[in-house]
Amino acid sequence: MKVQHILNTKGTRVVTIPAHQSVRAALVLFVEHNIGSLVVVDENDRPIGLLSERNLIRAAVANEDLFSQPVDALMTQEMIIGAPDADIKAIAHTMTEKRTRHVLVMEDGQLAGIISIGDVVKAQRDRYQGEVYTLETMLLSQEA
- DSSP result, 23-51: HHHHHHHHHHHT-SEEEEE-TTS-EEEEE
Residue ranges of domains in the chain, CATH in brackets: 3-143 (3.10.580.10)
Instruction: Yes or no: say if 68 and 24 are a contact pair by the CB < 8 Å rule.
Output: yes
- Give per-residue pLDDT as tens, 57-77: 888 887 768 888 899 988 999
**Residue 144 is which amino acid?**
A
Rounded to two decimals, the pTM is 0.77
- Give per-residue pLDDT as tens, 28-41: 999 999 999 999 99
**Residues forming beta bridges with residue 82, ordered by sequence position:** 105
